[in-house]
Structure formats: structure tokens, C-alpha cells
Structure 1
Amino acid sequence: MTLLTLTPSTRETPAQRAASGAADALFTEHGVIPVTLEQIADRAGLTLAELLDAYPTKRSLVIAVLQRWHGAWRRALDHITDVSDDPRDEVLGIFGYLEECFEDEGWRGCAFINGHAELGRQDPDVAALAREHFLDVERHLTLVCERGGMPAHVAQGLSLLIEGARVESAVQHSAQPARSARLTAAMLMSVYESRPAF
């Protein structure tokens, strides 16, 4: 039995990339269960045989889509780290990135939250990948907080703000949750700002 992880063991082939991209778009638009392999093949510009050669089951496509989302999220976090001079700015930059995501007309919520809601009770691997993604976000925030002289429990609060904003934005079809969460994050971090001694 192969252990599933958020990081693919091999790079996608062109056919796999087309298939997972098409599946990502269709799952985002309609959810996983209603989408057929034929629809994915059509969207990807592949024959059904080519799709099945790339990803033999819809479940394998679900896993590939979650890995795509996690990879995009990690690249965004790494970029924010690279361009931020201060850990607090880095945290606020994450909420800025979320705001950009939420402003996209195609935004329908986080694939991990949606996938867990739709499939998590039926498929323990999907549930496990969602948990690992959330833990990875919290681990990253913990490291940022350490660099900023803030305790680890602040990272837990920031993680809740991120996930709450993702959910609320999908329900409201609005970027406002990212702005509200960013303000709350700034207020939370301000408690731990160093103050000059008198």
C-alpha cells in the first residue's frame, strides 16, 4: 500500500497536468461527486483512454488536485517569506494573498475544506491529506511566530483566522473575510509587540 502525501513522488506528465488541471476546474465548479471522467477528459482535451492512462480513477484525480493546491499554497508562502522583511509583515502578507484569491471570480472555496466536507467521511485518505495540509499551515505559522518573538499559540489563532476566512469567503462570495481576518491578525500580534522600557 502506497503512503499518500501532499507532495507527489514524481513530476506530472503533460497529460497528467492537463487532466489534473481540468479536474481541478470541474471539481471547483461542481464538486467531486457529480463530475464524470468523460467530462474531465473533454475539458482536458484528452480521449477517455488517455485520461485513464494518466489517472486511472477519479479518486487518483482528487488526490492529484489536492497535491496541486498544496503545492500552489506552499509556493505562495515561500514567495511571501522571500519578500517580507519582518515576520509580522509576512503574516499580514498571507492574508493579502488570500484576499487576491477571494477576489478571483472562480473562487469557490479551499479544495481541502470542500474535499473534506464532500468526501472526508467516506475516504480516510482525503481526510488525512486535509488534516496534513492544515497542520502544515500551522507549522509554517509557528516558525514565523518564533522569528517574530511570538508564542506558538498565536500561530494556532492565525491558522483559525486563515481557515475561517476561507470558509466565509466561499459562503459570502466576498473578499471581505480576508480583510477582516487580516485586521484581527494585526490586533492579535500587537499584543506581543516589544515595548520600550522606561
Structure 2
Amino acid sequence: MNESISNDTRDIILDVTEKLIYKSGIAATSMDLLVKTAGVSRKSIYRYFADKDALVVAALQRRDVRWMHWFTSAVDQAKTPADRLLNLFTVLKGWFDSEGFRGCAFINTSGETGDPQDPVRLVAKEHKQKLLDYVCELCAEYGAEDPQLLARQLLILIEGAITVALVMGDHSAADNAQCMARKLLGL
């Protein structure tokens, strides 16, 4: 089999899986629906992924890379360290206002697992740790006395804004979180 065709098929499977689980969740995304939507055989899916769990984990890991790249690139457009910290919330608001916003895929899928050691939950934890690490870097650039503490506080504002935007349909949650961040930063 041609390697590029093989990679294309794998990418299609991952794209479709990510879209379906983001839209409807893991439980609602059956293998039959994946086969039908991706236009591939079940055998093709199992050629690349041992089972549905492995497929979901791979799709989430891929989303993590793409989302973090998008988010950090957008936030880093701001000029000063203080502006970058505030831009966290401006970028979130743009995401909240985008078509198809359904909250955080990692929070959503974690809510479908009961076991803290479930591979889906571990991918979500890794994603949140990367986000925390990035925010901590921004806090250090800003000159925070305790960058780790400030980053943890800002992460709560980020996650709270995402949740309020999804659950309440209140996209101004990002503005409210930014206002609270200004107070934390003394701006």
C-alpha cells in the first residue's frame, strides 16, 4: 500500500473521530458511525488502532497538539508580557464566538470517564498541564513573584470561563475572567 494513502486514511479516521467526539461525546460515537462518516472499513480503522479507546486517545492527542499551537500562537501576538496574559482571555473569547464551539474537548471527554487512570483522562490531564506550563512561562516573563501560583490561579479563570461559556452560553465569561485576571495582576 502506498504510504501517503495510508497516512491519508489514518488522518481521515482521526479527523472524523475528533469531530464526532467533540460534537457528541465518546459514548455517542459508535464504531459504525465512525465507519460510515469516515467512509472507511472497520478493518481500516483496526489497521491503525487496536480499539476505540486507542483511537479516541490518538484523536485527543492530535487535538492537543493542534489546539496548543493555535492558542499559544494567538496569545503570543500580544507585545508585552502583561498584554499576553490578558490576551489569554481575548483569544478564548474569539474561540467561544466561533462556529461549532462546544467547550473543551478534554473536559468534555474526561466527564465521560470515571477512572482517574483512564487513558482519556490522562490525555486531558497532560493537556491541562501543558496549558498550565505555558501560562506559568507567561507569568515568569511578566515578573510574577510566584509564577506557579499565579499560573494556577489564571488556569482556574481560563477553565471557568470555558465552562461558563459552554454551559451557560455566556461568551462574555472570557471578559469577566479577564477582568478578574487584571485584579490578580494589579493592572
In which range does the TM-score fall when normalised by the shorter chain? 0.7 to 0.9
Normalising by structure 2, report the TM-score: 0.86
Query: Does residue 95 of the first structure (1) align with residue 61 of the second (2)?
Result: no
Deviations 1:57-116 (A, max 9, x none): 111121122112211222124313542221111122221221122112312111111111
Contact 2:10-2:48 at 8 Å conserved across structures: yes
Counterparts in 2 of 1:183 and 1:71: CA distance versus 1, 3 Å: same
Distance in 1 separating the partners of 2:117 and 2:37: 25
The correspondence for 1:31, drawn from 25, 29, 34, is 25
* TM-aligned CA distance change 1:104 to 1:83, over 3 Å: closer
1:66 aligns with 2:60: yes
Give the alignment's Cα RMSD to 1 decimal. Answer: 2.0
Q: Do structure 1's residue 126 and structure 2's residue 107 form an aligned pair? A: no
How far 1:36 sits from its partner (Å)?
0.9
Q: TM-score, normalised by structure 1?
A: 0.82
What is the one-letter code of the residue matched to 2:65? G
- Work out whether 1:110 is the aligned partner of 2:92: no
Q: Which moved more, 1:162-171 or 1:79-88?
A: 79-88
SS at match of 2:58: helix
Aligned match of 1:85: 79
- Report % sequence identity: 27
Task: After the TM superposition, list the runs of 4 or more consecutive aligned residues in structure 1 that deviate by more than 6 angstroms.
Answer: none
Contact persistence 1:103–1:175 (CA under 8 A): yes
Residues 102-181 of structure 1: pairs in structure 2 closer than 5 A: 102-121=96-115, 124-150=118-144, 151-152=146-147, 153-181=149-177
Structure 1: which 5+ runs fail to align?
1-11, 192-198
Q: Could you tell me how far apart the structure 2 residues matched to 1:154 and 1:139 are?
A: 11
2:40 aligns to what SS in structure 1? coil
Q: What amino acid maps onto 1:36 in structure 2? A: S
**Cα offset, 1:21, TM superposition:** 1.1
Q: Which runs of 5+ in 2 are unaligned?
A: 1-5
Distance 1:24 1:49 in 2: 19
* Number of positions where the alignment pairs a residue of Structure 1 with one of Structure 2: 180
Q: Are residues 139 and 122 of structure 1, via their aligned partners in 2, closer, same or farther at CA, if it must alter by over 3 Å?
A: closer
CA distance in 1, matches of 2:168, 2:66: 23
Q: CA deviation at 1:135?
A: 1.6
